Chains A and B, each alone.
Chain A
Amino acid sequence: MPEVDLAVTPLRELNAALHKLKPDTNETSWRVLNPRGQHAIAAGLDAPILVTVEGHAGYYCAGMNKQATVVINGNAGQGVAENMMSGQVHVKGDASQAAGATGCGGLLVIDGNASARCGISMKGIDIVVKGSVGHLSAFMAQAGNLVVLGDAGEALGDSIYEARLYVRGSVKSLGADCIEKEMRDEHKAELRRLLDAAGVDGAADVSEFRRYGSARKLYHFHIDNAGSY
C-alpha cells in the first residue's frame, strides 16, 4: 500500500500521483499521513481506488471526486466532496460548511455533524449525516438525497428544487418553498438503501424520519409570491 506523508511530500505531488493512476491500476489503496488540515487533499480523483487520510483535512478534500473512495479519519474542512460526481467519501469526524456542495453523484457519509449549508445546490449526490446539520442545509438543492439522523438547523431546504430531505430529529425551521411531505413506501425503501449504504444498519428505523421537499410554488416567478423570497 503506497503511503504518502504530507509532512515531507508536497500536496501537489500526492495529487499528481493519484491523477496519473490508470483505471486498472494495482495501486488501489493509498494512505495519506499527516494531512494537518491541508486543503484539496485527494481532489480531482478519477480512478476506483481507496484513499485513507489519517487525520484532519482542510477545505475541499476529495473535491470533484469520481470513482474513488476517500476515507477521512478525522474532521473535514469546508466543501468536503464538493461537486462529487461518483464514488464515496466518508468523514469519520465532523464536517465544516458546504459539505457535499453541488455534488452530482456518489455518496458522502459524515459520522459526526455537518455545519451550515450541507448539501447546498446538490445535484444528485446522496449525503448521510449521522449527527446534525447546520442552517441553510440543502439550500437550492436540485437533486439527490440528504439524510440527517440528528437535527436540522434553520431554513432547511430553502428554495429547494427536486432533492429529497429525510430528517430523524427536529427541524428548527423550513426555508422558502420547502414543506414536509408524505413518507410513502418508496421513500422508506430509498431511505433504507441509503442508511444501509452509509453503514447505519439496524440502528435507525426509517419510520422515525420525516421527509421534506419542494412545494414547487416558486418554480415560476409570480408577483403574488414576492413575499416568499
Chain B
Amino acid sequence: MTAQDRWLHTPPRKSATFDDASIAEIRRAAATGIYDIRGAGTKRKVPHFDDLLFLGASISRYPLEGYREKCATDVTIGTRFAKKPITLKIPITIAGMSFGSLSAQAKEALGRGASAVGTSPTTGDGGMTPEERSHSSILVYQLLPSRYGMNPDDLRRADAIEVVVGQGAKPGGGGMLLGQKISKRVAEMRTLPEGIDQRSACRHPDWTGPDDLEIKIQELREITDWEKPIYVKVGASRPYYDTALAIKAGADAVVLDGMQGGTAATQDVFIEHVGIPTLAAIPPAVQALQELGMHRKVQLIVSGGIRNGADVAKALALGADAVSIGTAALIALGDNDPHLEDEYRKLGTTAGAYDDWHEGRDPAGITTQDPALAARLDPVLAGRKLANYLTVMTLEAQTIARACGKSHVHNLEPEDLVALNVEAAAMARVPLAGTNWVPGVGQW
C-alpha cells in the first residue's frame, strides 16, 4: 500500500466499547465456557482519592512545623462496649487475609510488620495460626460465614473480633479457595477434604438480618466476658444503612471495604461490577455515624485502594478513624515485584498485573501453599519491608496533617479537601476545586 493509498482507506480504529480487554474476554469465555476467576480488586478506573486535594495552610489557617511540632497518629478502638479497647500507634491496620489464600510465611510477615509499628493484622477464613498469633502483638480474629477454624479458644486469644458480613471486592459473595491451595494443613484447619475446590458461605449460618446480628454480637461478648472490641465488616454497597444497622447491632467499630478492596479469588464480573468505590462509601457511613451521635465513638475503618499516606489522610479527613490495607501490604511484602518478571512471563502475565492468586503459583511465595514457593519468602525481611512501608505512609499522612495545621491526624476534616472533578466532589461531598460547589448538596 502506498502512502497515497493510505489516505483512501479508513485508518484502523478500535472500538471504545469493544476494547482489547473486552474482546479478549469474549474469546476466553468462548474457548473455555467458564467465567474468569482472579484475585485483587477492581482494575477499572473509578473515582478515588487521587481526585481529591488538600488545601493546606493559608492566611486563615496556620500549619505546624514539620520537624518540631507533634502530630499524633494513635487510634483507640472499642471504647463503646469493650472492657479492653485496643490502641494502635498508627491509623493503618492490616486487613483480613486467610492462611490458605496466603502462605504461613506471608501471614507471619504481616504479623511482624504490623507489630513493629504498633498496629494489628487480621486473621481470615480458615482461622488463626500459631505463627500469626505469636508474631502479632495485637490480632483481630474474624468471624466469617464459613466459620472455618472458628473456635472459642482463639476467640479468647484474640485482641478484637471482626464479624465479616461482606467485603468490597464481592459484597454478597462468599469465599473461594481452589483445590491447588487446599494443602493438608489448610484442609485440616477447615475440616475439609484435601485438594477440593473449597467454597466459603456467602451468609452466616446462624443469623439473618440486623436483629439477629445484635444477638450474635451479644453472644460473642458473653463468650469473651465483654472484653474484646467487636468490629462489623461490610462491603461497600449501602454504606449509610449498613453503618447504621451495625451501630444498632452493637458494633464497637465498622469496617467499610470499597470495591477497590482485594480478594484472594472470585469472579472477575463480581469484582468489577458489584459494590461502590471507597470514595463514594465514606460520606454516607460518616453521615450515619453523625446522625446517631456515634462519630468517633464507634470507630470507622475504611479499606479498598489505600496506597499511600495521602490516601490515609484523605480517608481520615472524610471522617474515618483508621484505614486498612490488604493489596498494598502484599505488594510491600514482595508481591508483583519486577525482579520476578521472568517468572511472571512464564505464567502468562507481567509484574504489576499478576492476579491469578487462586492458582497458588505465586513466584513471590505469598499467595501460595506450595512449600517450595512459600519458602522463598523470608518473613523477617518481608515483615521489615511492611513495617517500612507503614512508617512511610504514616509520615506522609502526618506531613499533610501538619500542613493543614492539625496536631492529630484525626483533626483532618472535609473542609481541608477539594475535588478535581464533579464526580469526586459529589461522592466525597467536598467542593469542586476553586469553587464552593458541592454537587448534590444544598440548593444545587
> Which residues of A are in contact with B by a Cβ distance under 8 Å?
11-12, 15-16, 19, 39-40, 43-44, 46, 58-60, 63-64, 66, 78-79, 82-83, 85, 97-98, 101-102, 104, 117, 120-121, 123-124, 139-140, 142-143, 159, 161-162, 219-221, 223
Contacts and interface: CB of A to CB of B under 8 A. Distances in A.
B333 to A, nearest CB: 29
25 contacts: A12-B222, A15-B222, A15-B223, A44-B222, A59-B215, A59-B216, A60-B206, A60-B216, A66-B152, A78-B212, A79-B206, A79-B207, A83-B147, A85-B152, A98-B205, A123-B147, A123-B191, A142-B192, A159-B199, A219-B196, A219-B197, A220-B179, A221-B34, A221-B197, A223-B34
Contacts of A15: 222-223, 225
Contacts of B199: 159
A50 to B, nearest CB: 19
A158 B359 CA distance: 27
A34 B178 CA distance: 49
Contacts of A120: 205-206
B33 A162 contact: no
B215 A102 contact: no
Given A39-B218, A124-B191, A220-B197, 9 more contacts: A15-B223, A43-B223, A44-B224, A63-B223, A78-B207, A79-B206, A104-B151, A120-B205, A162-B192
Contact of A43 (B34, B196, B219): B219
A85 B199 CA distance: 22
B313 to A, nearest CB: 40
Contacts of B270: none
A44 B150 contact: no
A16 B224 CA distance: 9
A46 B63 CA distance: 55
A97 B226 CA distance: 26
Interface string B169-199: 0000000001100000000001111001101
Contact of A140 (B32, B197, B201, B218): B201
A161 B192 contact: yes
- Kindly name the residue among A16, A143, A219 whose own CB sees the greatest number of chain B CB atoms within 10 A: A219
B315 interface: no
B142 to A, nearest CB: 14
Q: Main SS of chain B's interface residues?
A: loop
Contacts of B219: 39-40, 43, 59-60, 63, 79
Contact of B222 (A43, A159, A162, A223): A43
Given A39-B218, A63-B223, A220-B197, A142 B191 contact: yes
Contacts of B197: 219-221
A46 B212 CA distance: 25
Interface in B120-168: 146-147, 150-152, 155
Contact of B225 (A16, A82, A83, A97): A16
A152 B101 CA distance: 36
Given A85-B151, A85-B152, A121-B201, A104 B196 contact: no
A40 B152 contact: no
Interface core residue of A83, A98, A117 (most chain B CB under 10 Å): A83
A164 to B, nearest CB: 14
A47 to B, nearest CB: 12
A19 B225 contact: yes
B61 to A, nearest CB: 48
B402 to A, nearest CB: 44
Contacts of A82: 205-206
A83 B151 contact: yes
A63 to B, nearest CB: 5
Contacts of B147: 83, 101-102, 121, 123
A186 to B, nearest CB: 19
Interface in B199-256: 199, 201, 205-207, 212, 215-216, 218-219, 222-226
B14 to A, nearest CB: 30
B245 to A, nearest CB: 18
Contact of B146 (A12, A59, A98, A121): A121
A59 B212 contact: yes
A62 to B, nearest CB: 10
A11 B216 CA distance: 15
B205 A101 contact: yes
Contacts of B226: 12
Contacts of A63: 219, 223
A102 B218 CA distance: 18
B195 to A, nearest CB: 8
Contacts of B192: 142, 161-162
A12 B226 CA distance: 9
Contact of B191 (A64, A104, A139): A104
Nearest to A42: B222
Contacts of B155: 44, 64
Contacts of A159: 199
A185 B398 CA distance: 70
Contacts of B225: 12, 15-16, 19
A58 B253 CA distance: 26
Nearest to A19: B225
Contacts of A44: 152, 155, 222-224
Cβ-closest 3 pairs across A and B: A44-B223, A79-B206, A102-B147
Q: Of B190, B197, B219, which is in contact with the most chain A CB atoms at under 10 Å from its CB?
A: B219
A39 B215 contact: yes
A64 B143 CA distance: 13
Contacts of A220: 179, 196-197
A223 B178 CA distance: 15
Of B32, B178, B215, B224, the most chain A CB neighbours within 10 A belong to B215
